[in-house]
Structure 1
Amino acid sequence: MPDTMAKSMGARSAWAREVRATLSLAWPIILTNLAQTGMTATDVVLMGWLGPRYLAAGALASNLYFAFLIFGIGLLGATSAMVAREIGRRFNSVRDVRRTVRQGLWSAIAITLPVWVVLWNAETILVDVLGQDPALAQQSAAYMRALQWSMLPFLGYIVLRSFVAALERPVWALLVGAVTIVVNALADWVLMFGALGFPRLELVGAGLATTLCSTLMFLGLALIVSVDRRFRRYHVFGRFWRPDWPRFRAFWRLGLPIGATILFEVSIFNAAVFLMGLIGPASLAAHSIAIQLASLAFMVPMGFGQAATVRVGRAFGAGDRQAIARSGWTAYALGVGFMTMTAIVMVGAPELLISAFLDIGDPGNAEVVALAATFLAYAALFQVADGAQAVGSGMLRGLHDTRVPMLFALFGYWGVGLPFGALLGFRFGLEGVGIWIGLASALILVAILMTGRWIARERLGLVGASAAEARREARA
């Protein structure tokens, strides 16, 4: 009896420690995600001050830029999964971590160079491929030629951010991001509007401000990892120019499916915006409000998913099956629990949320308010599923399982969700509600598939690499 009680108390203590460790790791990551969203929001607000045409031109360029950037962010997400595993297995970890971070930076360069060539020709793409207004495309291209240079330093920052997160010290990335929000707002004001004696550069000024801030983010975090004693022992910039093709290939094998998974998810929401535009301006406006609220809430489970990658990855490297289960299910419960609370708020107080965007007492806004409240009800439906798939994919990345989840995302979002939503919206006359049902269906399906995959992997006991495998990889 005493032994049983001791084991039970030990298990509860282990779960409590895991909750504390996950929360400690996740909250700076979540706030960093929100800080980066805040920078984008600042740019959008100030573009609106310039005028609606400037806002439209900026949106065209930003959407094109973001499509490439989000893929790069996903690809470089392999950094945290690989570093966490290397730290967990403790065999030659300093050298292996350095190799991974270096190849993460090489990968950032490798993906950025061809993207720069494409984005330099943004005007041609917008006019000839996407059929946009030539005058608007010209403004967008001018903005893009200032904005595009921010991609390399920002992706470099993502690699270093993943490195410090894998070492469970993400506060440094948060501090750098928080400082940059202030710098970005000031730089936007000065360069866009010609304040403090600077020339008025309008959209070009916004692009230059983003490039400046991305560069400061990378340099600031690079300085920290070079000086802080817990980071500098890894010498992540040591022998930077030395090729490491085996590690480079391993990085891309793991990272490419992550990038594709994120791209499949983001692109279905972009497609939904286009479909809403075909229905009408009221539906598009209401959709924008609902999706902004859902996207803001999503930052939290996304942070728990990133924390899960690190915690599961460390346990995976150590070959500790119980720790894998604890770290995965802890992050899952926290992420899904938070999204359950946001779903309750969306159903219970939709007008309170909508009032942050519109004057709900204005009769002219009545149609948009009613549609937004309806869309929020469906957003509440998929909140829990969105949290489950976000954390679930992070858990699987910790196990270096990325290819099958990529196929789940492709099937769920583009094979089921978008066609189903379009069918309901246009064929069966449900319009915007049909689109949201399609989005909810996609997220629920992907969440079920991701969770089922995790349960199967856990039951099979596919845990960390053996010492012999670790040595073989180290010699490669």
Structure 2
Amino acid sequence: MTNTTPPTPAFSSASLAPARPWRSEFGATLRLSWPLALANLLQMLTYAIDVIFIARLGTMPLAASALAVSVFGLVLWAMSGLVGAVSAVIAAELGERGPALRAVRRSTRMGLWLAVISGAAGMALCLAIGPIARLTGQEPGIVTLASTYMGLLIWSMIPMLAAYVLRSFVSALGRPIFATTITAAGIGVNALANYAFIFGNFGAPELGLRGAAIATIITSLFILAAYIIAIRLDARMHRYHVFGRFWMPDWARLRTIAKIGAPIAGTITAEAGLFAAAAFLMGSIGAVQLAAHTVALQIAALAFQVPFGVGQATTIRVGYFYGARDRAGMARAGWAGIGIGTGFMVITASAMILFPKALLSIYVDPDAARNAALVAFALPYLAIAAAFQLADGLQAVAAGALRGLQDTRVPMIIAIFAYWVPGFGTALLLGYATSLSGVGVWIGLASGLLAAAILLTWRWTRREKLELTRRAGPKIAPFAQTT
């Protein structure tokens, strides 16, 4: 049955056949990108607030929380990639058949199902924090604290993943500002909850490190509830009734999302593993080098949140045209995203070269004598970070464009190869077998990102020859069905 209802404003007729297609596409991508990028930056601030409060408890609780969060964050990030594939599926459905009310509702419903299933699996994985910590030689006291903290923290995973699915839904529907607003509100809730439950304020019990975990649970539930309320109150989104008949399965759609999302989770794990391995390499070289590495990497991570948001937006924009089977539109959306993401990284790379000490001052006092050694190591690391900013932005958005074409398996293979063969291989060789030491490790990181950028962009440029733009007829439940 053909749906004749006009497309949702998130993918309007103007975006299908604009008078100035390239100008229109750049504008549409920017409007979708900046709220997502800002939400990513605000999310980092949320984590920073946790550290600020926990640090007041002392060194042991801070070390234990850092250990637990390193495991929890990796699992959560990977699972977010898995469930986040729903954005590509929804975008294609919107591009293919107007508002696609039933199709989008079913995809969102199955995305939420997948959030629950993968979240439960992720909780089980995180409970291995004790054996992992003991295997890596952590102090027994830290292991005990980390296990206790993790035992509570894991209960925030399913709400976080469900909220990520709803974030993908509102973004695909042209409401990315909700992601920004809700994340910003979550910062306030997180700060108040930490203040209350860590130190026993506002009549709450004084729970110390356990209070920080409870604050995270409260914040995750608040954010999930905020998305539900926003969807209920917004007329455009409410008409999809995404929570209707939540118990009804659509196994084909669930498999579609999982098939697209599993390689994304694999890619995330490969990249996170590279940077974790680099930290271990730096730690074996020296404590000061590791500290300098951590500070420089935090600056690079802040800058990366913008092309990461652009990549998310590019997935949606390319997905719209992929669903509409508009190959020229796919090309415009992909190259517009790549241009915006890379252009921003030119700015951040220039800042790292021209104003490195100003950037370091975000985290440390670069003029203090006690930080002289750290700064001496961090400055060359930032110079290399400036070089890999372009590669990092390019590979993030190119991967996002390919995800819009629902192409994730080969990009995962590319990422694993790039990060671990030229990337970690170069870091290991130059870091240990030459006098470059820490600089050699950073050259290895840059090599991995550059290899990924070249190979992913090459695949994007060959999308037609590889028949990546060819969308077959619907393999999931047809629009005409009633649930």
What TM-score results when the alignment is normalised by the length of structure 1? 0.94
| Contact persistence 2:90–2:169 (CA under 8 A) | yes
Question: Structure 1 counterpart of 2:224, which letter?
Answer: F
In the other structure, the counterpart of 1:470 is 474
In structure 2, the CA distance between the partners of 1:259 and 1:118, relative to structure 1 (3 Å rule), is closer
- Once the two structures are TM-superposed, the CA of residue 15 in structure 1 deviates from its matched residue by 1.1
- Once the two structures are TM-superposed, the CA of residue 430 in structure 1 deviates from its matched residue by 1.7
| Contact persistence 2:163–2:223 (CA under 8 A) | yes
| Contact persistence 1:325–1:458 (CA under 8 A) | no
Of residues 226, 247, 250 in structure 2, which corresponds to 1:244?
Answer: 250
In structure 2, the CA distance between the partners of 1:47 and 1:250, relative to structure 1 (3 Å rule), is same
For the residues of structure 2 that align with 1:258 and 1:472, how far apart are their CA atoms? 21
In the other structure, the counterpart of 1:95 is 102
In the other structure, the counterpart of 1:4 is none
In the other structure, the counterpart of 1:205 is 211
Question: Structure 1 counterpart of 2:90, which letter?
Answer: V
Does residue 27 (structure 1) correspond to residue 25 (structure 2)? The answer is no
* 1:195 counterpart SS class: coil
| Contact persistence 1:392–1:447 (CA under 8 A) | yes
- Once the two structures are TM-superposed, the CA of residue 117 in structure 1 deviates from its matched residue by 2.9
Question: Structure 2 counterpart of 1:470, which letter?
Answer: P
- Once the two structures are TM-superposed, the CA of residue 141 in structure 1 deviates from its matched residue by 1.1
* 1:196 counterpart SS class: coil
Question: Structure 1 counterpart of 2:177, which letter?
Answer: V
For the residues of structure 2 that align with 1:92 and 1:364, how far apart are their CA atoms? 60
In structure 2, the CA distance between the partners of 1:263 and 1:118, relative to structure 1 (3 Å rule), is closer
- Once the two structures are TM-superposed, the CA of residue 263 in structure 1 deviates from its matched residue by 1.4
Question: Structure 2 counterpart of 1:413, which letter?
Answer: Y
For the residues of structure 2 that align with 1:148 and 1:361, how far apart are their CA atoms? 41
For the residues of structure 1 that align with 2:99 and 2:141, how far apart are their CA atoms? 57
| Contact persistence 2:91–2:320 (CA under 8 A) | yes
Cα distance per residue 1:383-410 (max 9 Å; x no partner):
0000000000000000001001000110
Cα distance per residue 1:322-355 (max 9 Å; x no partner):
1111111111101000001111110111111112
**1:177-216 paired onto structure 2 within 5 Å:** 177-216=183-222
* 2:205 counterpart SS class: coil
Of residues 405, 429, 439 in structure 2, which corresponds to 1:433?
Answer: 439
In the other structure, the counterpart of 2:316 is 310
Which structure 2 residue ranges, 5 or more long, are not aligned? Answer: 1-16
**How many equivalent residue pairs?**
464
Name the % identity.
45
| Contact persistence 1:321–1:461 (CA under 8 A) | no
Does residue 325 (structure 1) correspond to residue 321 (structure 2)? The answer is no
| Contact persistence 2:353–2:382 (CA under 8 A) | yes
Cα distance per residue 1:433-470 (max 9 Å; x no partner):
0110000000000000010000000456643535xx13
* 1:50 counterpart SS class: coil
Cα distance per residue 1:58-107 (max 9 Å; x no partner):
10110111121011011012110000000000168211111111111111
More helix by share: 1
**1:137-286 paired onto structure 2 within 5 Å:** 137-286=143-292
Cα distance per residue 1:263-322 (max 9 Å; x no partner):
111221111111111111110111011000000000000010000000000011001111
Moved more, 319-328 or 451-460: 451-460
In the other structure, the counterpart of 2:8 is none
For the residues of structure 1 that align with 2:99 and 2:446, how far apart are their CA atoms? 45
Of residues 136, 140, 144 in structure 2, which corresponds to 1:134?
Answer: 140
In structure 2, the CA distance between the partners of 1:313 and 1:188, relative to structure 1 (3 Å rule), is same
| Contact persistence 1:317–1:463 (CA under 8 A) | no
In the other structure, the counterpart of 1:288 is 294
Question: Structure 2 counterpart of 1:422, which letter?
Answer: L
In the other structure, the counterpart of 2:120 is 113
- Once the two structures are TM-superposed, the CA of residue 361 in structure 1 deviates from its matched residue by 2.0
For the residues of structure 2 that align with 1:159 and 1:411, how far apart are their CA atoms? 29
Which structure 1 residue ranges, 5 or more long, are not aligned? Answer: 1-9
Moved more, 316-325 or 84-93: 84-93
In structure 2, the CA distance between the partners of 1:118 and 1:14, relative to structure 1 (3 Å rule), is closer
Of residues 376, 384, 391 in structure 2, which corresponds to 1:378?
Answer: 384
- Once the two structures are TM-superposed, the CA of residue 362 in structure 1 deviates from its matched residue by 2.0
Does residue 54 (structure 1) correspond to residue 54 (structure 2)? The answer is no
| Contact persistence 1:312–1:327 (CA under 8 A) | yes
- Once the two structures are TM-superposed, the CA of residue 193 in structure 1 deviates from its matched residue by 1.6
For the residues of structure 2 that align with 1:12 and 1:336, how far apart are their CA atoms? 26
In the other structure, the counterpart of 1:419 is 425
- Once the two structures are TM-superposed, the CA of residue 28 in structure 1 deviates from its matched residue by 0.7
- Once the two structures are TM-superposed, the CA of residue 131 in structure 1 deviates from its matched residue by 2.9
Of residues 43, 48, 51 in structure 2, which corresponds to 1:36?
Answer: 43
In structure 2, the CA distance between the partners of 1:462 and 1:413, relative to structure 1 (3 Å rule), is closer
For the residues of structure 2 that align with 1:295 and 1:42, how far apart are their CA atoms? 17
In the other structure, the counterpart of 2:77 is 70
Moved more, 325-334 or 234-243: 234-243
| Coordinate RMSD, CA, aligned | 1.7
In structure 2, the CA distance between the partners of 1:423 and 1:236, relative to structure 1 (3 Å rule), is same
What TM-score results when the alignment is normalised by the length of structure 2? 0.93
Question: Structure 2 counterpart of 1:65, which letter?
Answer: F
- Once the two structures are TM-superposed, the CA of residue 51 in structure 1 deviates from its matched residue by 1.5
For the residues of structure 1 that align with 2:255 and 2:232, how far apart are their CA atoms? 26
In structure 2, the CA distance between the partners of 1:25 and 1:111, relative to structure 1 (3 Å rule), is same
In the other structure, the counterpart of 1:3 is none
For the residues of structure 2 that align with 1:349 and 1:71, how far apart are their CA atoms? 34
**1:399-418 paired onto structure 2 within 5 Å:** 399-418=405-424
For the residues of structure 1 that align with 2:422 and 2:102, how far apart are their CA atoms? 44
Cα distance per residue 1:27-50 (max 9 Å; x no partner):
110111111111001111222222
Does residue 335 (structure 1) correspond to residue 341 (structure 2)? The answer is yes
| Contact persistence 1:320–1:464 (CA under 8 A) | no
For the residues of structure 2 that align with 1:12 and 1:292, how far apart are their CA atoms? 42
- Once the two structures are TM-superposed, the CA of residue 191 in structure 1 deviates from its matched residue by 1.0
In the other structure, the counterpart of 1:7 is none
- Once the two structures are TM-superposed, the CA of residue 138 in structure 1 deviates from its matched residue by 0.4
